[in-house]
A and B are shown apart, each in its own frame.
Chain A
């Protein structure tokens, strides 16, 4: 149907060892708080002990010289991180773009739930899968709009015989 792949799929093409945890952590990190938080509130997550309270900081984003060469520092971006532990022992880590502390905390708890046999199915079904579907739909909508602006060159052929 579509030759589109999400960037998580890209990732798995590039790095074969890309794990399920990398993919769900990315889905949580990239989601906007406006998309994630309603899903989070409906999740009825188990209690979690905060190991590292949500902290806002920066990551220096690097580019490559000429697009393919050595790294250079392009500029920073805001990132929020958080770490929690469930009563059952799983440790969850949230690293999310932006400065929303609820986002980072929710991501950490959901990461822990995804590692717990007792909670994984629910977290997958109620949060991760909807996030991935929404992200895919968003990427595809942008892609189709771009496709609609693709130039279709045509060349006038002059009849030289006349």
Chain B
């Protein structure tokens, strides 16, 4: 591939960007959208941009969505670009999702999960009928009902419920675990261990992971998943500042977690147990967390002695193609001038056609002479 420096587009580009700004604003007779409005009323878009932008900051994500005219992959790109300008203070203590202040927690596998099935603010069970009351504008909806009693602040995970019997795989912390792989510091490398895969999936494009998960469900590297648990709520993030030398909680971050149960295996010679796939994202994003969990499990095929036969089980295929910024950049770079490539192709094609035309003419002459001779 070759690029060629092209000059002369400066005025055109400036004017194009001015038009972009005007178009972004839309009809000036309609009030302008504020960043705060996007942050508060387009929360799930903000959550997706933070998850795939790999940067938790609702204000910045909302600003990126405004600047990108609502194009979420473009907003994700803006956020990724911004994060490169900031220094890294360090890494958090790994979050304890078991202590999540649960807003929503359901298990599709186990009806009687301790703590119960808590629906939270969900689209599930809505009729998906357009609500024209929302188009009428104005008015604050009635406050959501509150219970007289509170729930336990933390709910046991499905893994901990069955841990005693050993029915579910429950990964433990290795004493000598190395620092986790960091895609923001190291290039993608293979074979990729699970920490690297989970980071890539957490940053990965939701649509791509959804399709892969769907392909697995339909039999392309089937994982036969059952949804063990989905939980959404605030998780405390702990950090040890270098000046202090002890941990402080610096934020409550909303996260969605999913544990998929999928197939039995005897791990390390133990009795058979459910193996699991894991999904975790910033914000409220169940589609992403569930897809991530299914794909995480599919990518463990080799480790669990399963034959790798489908795209969703192939870590190079999945990890090399899951990043929306890279994928979008490589597809869309085709818009940039490729004049030299095209010029070279044309020269080659013209010569090819000329040579083949000449060869065909020569062959026709030979055939005619043969016929004449017979």
Residues of A within 8 A of B (CB): 2-5, 7-8, 10-11, 14-15, 19, 22, 25-26, 29-30, 55-79, 81, 83, 93, 95-99, 139-151, 153
Contact = CB atoms under 8 A, between A and B. Distances in A.
Given A73-B182, A141-B146, A143-B101, A3 B153 contact: yes
The 7 A-B pairs with the shortest beta carbon distances in the complex, nearest first, are A69-B171, A147-B147, A97-B251, A77-B56, A144-B146, A26-B249, A72-B195
B97 interface: yes
Interface of B: 50-51, 53-57, 59-60, 83, 86-99, 101-104, 111, 116-121, 144-154, 157, 159, 169-174, 177, 180-184, 194-196, 198-199, 202-203, 233-234, 236-239, 241, 243-244, 246-253, 257, 259, 276, 278, 280-282
Contact of B250 (A2, A5, A26, A73): A26
Contacts of A139: 101, 153
A68 B276 CA distance: 12
Contacts of B244: 25, 93
A11 B237 CA distance: 11
12 contacts: A11-B238, A11-B249, A55-B87, A58-B86, A58-B89, A60-B90, A73-B182, A75-B51, A78-B86, A97-B250, A146-B103, A147-B118
Interface SS, A side? mixed
Contacts of B248: 22, 25-26, 29, 95
B253 A4 contact: no
B324 to A, nearest CB: 14
A98 B59 contact: yes
A78 B60 contact: yes
A147 B180 contact: no
B83 A66 contact: no
A12 to B, nearest CB: 11
Contacts, number: 264
A151 B259 contact: no
A85 B203 CA distance: 40
A2 B148 CA distance: 10
B150 A65 contact: no
A150 B116 contact: yes
Contact of B159 (A63, A67, A93): A67
Contacts of A63: 94-95, 97, 198, 202, 280
A69 B172 contact: yes
Given A79-B239, A145-B147, A150-B116, 5 more contacts: A14-B99, A19-B246, A65-B171, A65-B278, A79-B89
B232 to A, nearest CB: 10
B225 to A, nearest CB: 14
B274 to A, nearest CB: 11
A26 B244 CA distance: 13
A29 B152 contact: no
A64 B95 contact: yes
Contacts of A74: 95, 198-199, 202, 280-282
A63 to B, nearest CB: 5
Given A67-B97, A68-B171, A73 B88 contact: no
Contacts of B93: 62
A68 B116 contact: no
A66 B280 CA distance: 9
Contact of B180 (A67, A73, A77): A73
A79 B250 contact: yes
A56 B88 CA distance: 9
A147 B149 CA distance: 7
A147 to B, nearest CB: 4
A146 B151 CA distance: 8
A18 to B, nearest CB: 9
